[in-house]
Amino acid sequence: MSPSAASTWRWGALVQRRDFLLAAGAVAALSFVPGVAQDAWNRVATTYPPAGGLSEAHLALVSAISDAIIPRTDTPGATDVGVPAWINVVVAGYYTDSQRAAFLDGLAAIDALAQGTAGAPFAAMSSDRRERVMSILDRPNAFERFVLRLENSHMAARIVSRSAIERMLAGLAQEARAYAWLKGLVVHGYFTSERVQKEVLRTVIIPGSFDGAAPMPLGYLRRGV
Amino acid sequence: MTRETMSYDAIVVGSGISGGWAAKELCERGLRTLVLEAGGPIDARDFVEHVQPYEMPFRGRGDRKALERDHPIQRECYACDEVAHKFFVNDNENPYTTPNEAPFRWFRGRQVGGRSITWNRQVYRWSDLDFEANAKDGHGNDWPIRYADIAPWYTYVERFIGVTGAKEGLAQLPDGDFLPPMAMTIVEHHAREKLRTAFGGERVMTIGRAAVLTTNHNGRLACHYCGPCHRGCVTHSYFNSIGSTLPAARNTGKLTLRPHSVVAEVLYDPARDRARGVRIIDARTLQEMEFEARIVFLCASAIESTRILLNSRSTRFPDGLGNSSGTLGRYLMDHHYGSGAHGTMPGFADKRTVGHRPNGTYIARFRNVKSQRADFLRGYGMHGRSGRVGWERGASLPGYGTSFKQSLIHDLGEWNLAVEGWGETLPHENNRVTLDPDVKDKWGIPAARIDVRWRDNERAMDKDMAASAAEMLEAAGCKDVHAYVSTHPPGHCVHEMGGARMSRTPKDGVLNGRNQAWDAKNLFITDGACMASSACQNPSITYMALTARAAAHAVAEMKRGEL
């Protein structure tokens, strides 16, 4: 992770814009790496693995499920871009004590399900067997999908209070709740990673304009900076 | 206590949306002006809008533990995120109280620029439908001004700050002096046309009117569409005071800006029957100081300005300066908002958005414009948004493995469309702010005690917002339409206003029609505190226009020797 190394890439689009070049002061300011983000990162980077995070066994399970959700293809998979390490940061530094306990209990329940269904801990089994376990874990009913959408949406608070979401989550089976959280974290961690943002999504940080009716699908992936 | 020996022509309390305008207008009219800001200085290097998710430890979800410790209330505001929380006050240093059964969210920023750094930038003119409302239905007092009084000042402000928008010719939402409009999405175009035909032209969905530049303007650059304006803007492409009004004030050579200056009270001189100056507490040294000036502008925000006045007690004004009428602190309002509906729009799969438009759509008020409903008074406007969710839908999308991954990368999911109401709140005398008898802030100033409640009219309007939103989305062709009624407590919209209302007579309010205190004619309150009703439009541009108008009036009276 190196925000400053990214600066050439980040402002590639920008320096082609005459307006921005005219504003030399603005360009200087743009290349500034904000202290607040850098400080926070240094804090996390120097304390990894975090106290109160996942054990080796938990990390192995989280890694295996992460790659089952987002495997390596022609683009990186979840563990290739450090998703389990980020999940560790969330479990240690973001979750409340009760969320962390529920998450760890849920991981144990997932492994119990794996034992019962396919005779081994999830991380230790072949890909065929993992497929069998995944097909059981990943079949949310309508209620679970609804709770998931609320849990993972910033806008949810407009509709339902946080405590109501917590109550609904508490109503899910242990393994279903842990898997729901895990899937949300895997998707978020993967697509917000530096490599995926740059190499897969090719996010343009300074688009310079807005188009409300741009063509699909080619541009989404292939739009050069 | 230190008394500042040098005195000023004018003191402005607050450096945000209103204070910046007061500073600019007073300085440009030749007054040596002292701006007192409770928070510290910031500059463009403090802005964090280009921080990417992978540069944040929690990838944009926020440092929950730190936020719960330092910002337990502020964190409920969408803009108080993982990096922009620094533009919000520390709740432990800045307490306020409410009755247990009447929660109120008070979201605040103390820094040079105030909440103009984090505001949502939506700007809509009021019309006479709004200024006449109190007089017509008897809730609140009659405004001492009408649209004609403020219209030229709206234009004046718009030309300086730069407002993007489209002219629609609606009497209830007057057009302004607009920069080119931002583009609507293809789905918004579609919805606009469907609504026009389905509701006989009565419901107009227009592109949002925002203080964001779509062309270079007054030395500031056009928007580069990076997205999160609430984190600041290194190119000053949206209006905030530190990028436009305060530099204009500074250019006159008349401005003195003093950060870390927490104003405790306005000092009153009974011999002259005027405000004498202000008493402050230095935020860092806790030292008390006094500053004197010929005129004082309070622009600290509705509740802060009201709190300062309530705390300005003297023999002549034992219940607070400006409170001769007994109305000071009363008739506090906010917009009740967020009730509406969302749905998905079939089709348009070959189209997407490129760039992050820092603006949505707006449906002008259509309730109680031509005819009066039985279930509620006044009305609401509706903010809307549309787009395709993209990979974020993956968290709740069934599936895993290669095909799941590829669909999140290559497909953006369906188009979504949502519209939500922002509703007028009736002025009510029991919606009020007082001083808490026990709780004080870090600087020893009595905390605000806030008691504001939604009442029957607001609740009835919320239901109608949800129903009309669903009706419009269905008329537009949406599927899976889901209507909802908001649960936000008062204050959550960050449009708190009232507390020191304008009035036609000294017995009905705190200020005259020029924002001048009835109790001390050299004291002006030009932020949201002055509002006698709330209308349904986002209010900031009205504060700006009233501030500029009041400043012109103040300087004219000074020149005539009347202040």
pLDDT in tens, B438-469: 999 999 999 999 999 999 999 999 999 999 99
Contact B241, B233 (CB under 8 A): no
The answer to whether the Cβ–Cβ distance between A191 and B338 falls below 8 Å is: no
Read off the tokens for B396.
Answer: 């709740």
Q: Angle, to 10 degrees, between the axis of helix A97-118 and the axis of helix A56-69? A: 70
The percentage of chain B sitting over the pLDDT mark of 90, rounded to a whole number, equals: 97
Q: Between B52, B351, B398, which is nearest A140 by CB?
A: B398
d(CA B121, CA B232): 12
Dihedral angle computed from the Cα positions of residues B549, B555, B557 and B563, in that order, rounded to the nearest 10 degrees = 120
Query: What are the pLDDT digits (tens) for B162-195?
Result: 999 999 999 999 999 999 999 999 999 999 999 9
| Strand runs labelled E in B19-96 | 33-36
More confident residue, A19 or B25: B25
Indicate the DSSP class of residue A197. I
Read off the tokens for B150.
Answer: 């403020």
Read off the tokens for A176.
Answer: 């279903």
d(CA B222, CA B182): 12
By C-alpha distance, the chain A residue nearest B231 is: A34
Q: What is the pLDDT of residue A8?
A: 28
By C-alpha distance, the chain B residue nearest A30 is: B234
d(CA B481, CA B416): 10
Q: Which of A1-5, B86-90, B465-469 has the lowest mean pLDDT?
A: A1-5
Query: What are the pLDDT digits (tens) for B414-438?
Result: 999 999 999 999 999 999 999 999 9
Dihedral angle computed from the Cα positions of residues A149, A155, A157 and A159, in that order, rounded to the nearest 10 degrees = -80
Only one residue has tokens 């309730």, namely B367
d(CA A72, CA A79): 9
d(CA B336, CA B489): 8
Is some CB atom of chain B closer than 8 A to the CB atom of A170?
A: no
Contact B343, B480 (CB under 8 A): yes
The answer to whether the Cβ–Cβ distance between A1 and B54 falls below 8 Å is: yes
Contact B428, B331 (CB under 8 A): yes
Distance from CA of A194 to the nearest CA of B (A): 6
Burial of A179 (0-12, 13-18, 19+ CB in 10 A): buried
A32 has pLDDT over 50: no
d(CA B196, CA B193): 5
Cα of B78 vs its chain's centroid, Å: 14
Contacts of A34 in chain B (CB under 8 A): 45-48, 51, 83
- Please name the residues between 17 and 46 in chain A that touch chain B, using a CB distance below 8 Å: 17, 19-20, 23, 26, 29-30, 32, 34, 36-38, 40-41, 43-44
Read off the tokens for B232.
Answer: 């600041």
d(CA B518, CA B501): 11
Contacts of A191 in chain B (CB under 8 A): 391-392, 394, 408
Strands A211-215 and B255-258: unpaired
Residue A146 CB neighbour total at 10 angstroms: 14
Read off the tokens for B235.
Answer: 């190119």
Half-sphere exposure of B183 (CA within 13 A, CB side): 17
Mean pLDDT value across residues A189-217: 93
Find residue B255's DSSP bridge partners. B33
The answer to whether the Cβ–Cβ distance between A138 and B63 falls below 8 Å is: no
Closest CA to B80 of B48, B52, B55, B103: B48
Dihedral angle computed from the Cα positions of residues B258, B264, B269 and B273, in that order, rounded to the nearest 10 degrees = 100
By C-alpha distance, the chain B residue nearest A26 is: B235
d(CA A106, CA A19): 54
d(CA B406, CA B404): 6
Find residue B415's DSSP bridge partners. B345, B388
The answer to whether the Cβ–Cβ distance between B395 and A10 falls below 8 Å is: no
A102 has pLDDT over 70: yes
Find residue B269's DSSP bridge partners. B274
Per-residue pLDDT band at A110 (split at 50, 70, 90): very high
Which of A73, A210, A218, A222 is the best residue to mutate to test the B interface, defined by the most B CB atoms within 10 Å of its own CB?
A210
Q: Angle, to 10 degrees, between the axis of helix B147-161 and the axis of helix B540-559? A: 100
Burial of B208 (0-12, 13-18, 19+ CB in 10 A): buried
The answer to whether the Cβ–Cβ distance between A36 and B353 falls below 8 Å is: no
Inter-chain contacts counted by CB atoms under 8 A, chains A and B: 211
B282 has pLDDT over 60: yes
A154 has pLDDT over 60: no
d(CA A176, CA B206): 43
Which of A122, A158, A182, A203 is the best residue to mutate to test the B interface, defined by the most B CB atoms within 10 Å of its own CB?
A158
The percentage of chain B sitting over the pLDDT mark of 70, rounded to a whole number, equals: 99
d(CA B108, CA B243): 19
Contact B340, B419 (CB under 8 A): yes
Q: What is the mean pLDDT of chain B?
A: 96
Alpha carbon distances (Å) from B52 to A36, A219, B522:
12, 21, 48
Find residue A129's DSSP bridge partners. none
Read off the tokens for A125.
Answer: 């089994």
Query: What are the pLDDT digits (tens) for B510-563?
Result: 999 999 999 999 999 999 999 999 999 999 999 999 999 999 999 999 999 998
Residues 6+ apart with CB under 8 A from A39: none
Q: What is the pLDDT of residue A39?
A: 58
What are the two backbone dihedrals, phi and then psi, of residue B114, each rounded to the nearest 5 degrees?
Answer: 50, -140
Residues 6+ apart with CB under 8 A from B561: none
Is some CB atom of chain B closer than 8 A to the CB atom of A191?
A: yes
Residues 6+ apart with CB under 8 A from A98: none
Query: What are the pLDDT digits (tens) for B191-246?
Result: 999 999 999 999 999 999 999 999 999 999 999 999 999 999 999 999 999 999 99
Taking every pair of Cα atoms in chain B, the longest distance, rounded to a whole number of angstroms, is: 82
Q: What is the pLDDT of residue A3?
A: 32
Respond yes or no on whether ipTM tops 0.95: no
By C-alpha distance, the chain A residue nearest B492 is: A158
d(CA A13, CA B74): 35
Indicate the DSSP class of residue B502. B
Q: What are the contacts of B432-438 at 24+ separation with CB within 8 A?
A: B432/B329, B432/B330, B432/B331, B432/B332, B432/B499, B433/B303, B433/B306, B433/B307, B433/B310, B433/B329, B433/B332, B433/B499, B434/B310, B434/B329, B435/B307, B435/B310, B435/B311, B436/B96, B436/B97
d(CA B110, CA B15): 9
Indicate the DSSP class of residue B356. -
Indicate the DSSP class of residue B164. B
Is some CB atom of chain B closer than 8 A to the CB atom of A2?
A: no
d(CA A167, CA B532): 41
Contact B345, B417 (CB under 8 A): yes
Q: Angle, to 10 degrees, between the axis of helix A56-69 and the axis of helix B401-410? A: 60
Contact B559, B335 (CB under 8 A): no
- Please name the residues between 109 and 168 in chain A that touch chain B, using a CB distance below 8 Å: 134, 138-140, 145, 148-149, 151-152, 154, 157-161
What are the two backbone dihedrals, phi and then psi, of residue A186, each rounded to the nearest 5 degrees?
Answer: -65, -45
Contact B331, B139 (CB under 8 A): no
Contacts of B47 in chain A (CB under 8 A): 29, 34
A45 has pLDDT over 60: no
Is some CB atom of chain B closer than 8 A to the CB atom of A192?
A: yes
Burial of B165 (0-12, 13-18, 19+ CB in 10 A): buried
Model-level pTM?
Answer: 0.92
A22 has pLDDT over 80: no
d(CA B123, CA A27): 29
Alpha carbon distances (Å) from B358 to A63, B107, B113, B399:
37, 21, 20, 32
Contact B54, A192 (CB under 8 A): yes
